[in-house]
Structure 1
Amino acid sequence: MRLVLAVVALLLTGCGSGATAAAREYNPADVMFLQMLIPQNRQGIEIAGLAADRPVPASLKELAAAIEVTQQTEIEDMRRWLHDWHQPEAMDANPQAHAGHGGMKMTAPDLVGALRTAPDSEFTRRFLDVLTGQQQGAVELAQAENGTNGGVNTPARDLARRVIESRTAEVKQLLNVKT
């Protein structure tokens, strides 16, 4: 009976946090994926947050808010996994270190800065362009994680699958916003 209770407790713990025995199995591709997606998500949150106080269609404001919540939740999971694996959250700052993983998929800081200062009359169009590119970058990172030379960690690969699905759907929504 104790063994059954121990197994049930372990399974319940794993269900909520992704901390199953399989979650401890990872490779350098898993680590790099998480280390690259965390700053990419942070930038996505920053970009999405710019719509909050701008005159954009209500549907776009709702989508931007949903993106913020989703990507923050993903960051919390990724940070926990890296911590559990005793891996640093920050990646190698040398951009060449990421060439084998398809390189960083960040939006250029000058584009984000220009978006921040864009006049209201141009904001929606620019916002759609910048956020669409940013979301596509996340899809590319996730595709590398699930590719032939990608990760082996089940929760990380599942996150990559969800990123591909959700960001692809978000890009479709962004492309259909009437400006």
Structure 2
Amino acid sequence: MRVVLAVVALLLTGCGSGATAAAPAYNAADVMFLQMLIPQNQQGIEIVRLAAARPVPAGLKELAAAIDSTQRTEVDDMKSWLRDWGRPETMDMNPQAHAGHGGMKMTAPDLVGALRTAPDSEFVRRFLDVLTGQQQGAVELARTENGTDGGVNAQARDLARRVVESRTAEVKQLLNFKV
């Protein structure tokens, strides 16, 4: 009987059970990463959609369409995660709030505007330049999520890994297009 009581006492107190506190589902770095990547992706979608109505090589149109589809799916996923966590989809607009993630990685709006109005003869060259920079910004942002002071959420960390891999491959493709 004493053995049974001792075992019950150990189980009730957790002694020797090897139980540990559950890891947090997400942290502030995860939230900030998603809140920063959403507008970054939305801008990427805006940029790649400009190629749809322009005379660009078929391979570049295909790449733009693939980027559009991928980034729309990512945005939907990120918004869903933030809703599930009870966190806002939008971020603090104070630029200092993003210093820990290296600041915003958005393409300057004037570059996007100039691309929108570029003559067809200059569009492909400008498109490649703007989109390459935009995709590189996503890679830099994603690296902060998986860095030392980054996020803890497995889904967000996996998204960051996939962003680094896919955007790096896309940049290589963009750099290989001849103008």
TM range (shorter): 0.7 to 0.9
Residue matched to 2:139? 139
Query: Unaligned 5+ residue runs, structure 1?
Result: 1-21
After superposition, give the CA deviation of every residue in 1:55-111 in whole Å (9 maximum; x if it has no partner). Answer: 111000000000000000000000000000000000001111111111000000000
> Could you tell me the percent identity over the aligned residues?
82
The TM-score normalised by the length of structure 2 is: 0.86
- SS of residue paired to 1:155: helix
Aligned to 1:101: 101
Gaps in structure 2 of 5+ consecutive residues: 1-21
C-alpha root-mean-square deviation of aligned residues, in Å?
1.3
Does the aligned pair in 1 maintain the 2:31–2:87 contact within 8 Å? yes
* Matched AA of 1:86: G
Please list the CA deviations of residues 95-142 of structure 1 after superposition, one character each: whole Å capped at 9, or x if unmatched.
111111110000000000000000000000000000000000000010
Partner of 1:14: none
Give runs of ≥4 in structure 1 deviating > 6 Å: none
Q: Please say if residues 24 and 85 of structure 1, whose CA atoms lie closer than 8 Å, have aligned partners that are also in contact.
A: no
Does residue 153 of structure 2 align to residue 159 of structure 1?
Answer: no
Q: Match for residue 38 of structure 1?
A: 38
Higher Cα Rg: structure 1 or 2?
A: 2
Number of aligned residues? 158
Distance 2:101 2:75 in 1: 19
**Separation of aligned partners in 2, 1:155 and 1:91:** 19
* Match of residue 65 from structure 1: 65
Q: 1:55 matched to which residue of 2?
A: 55
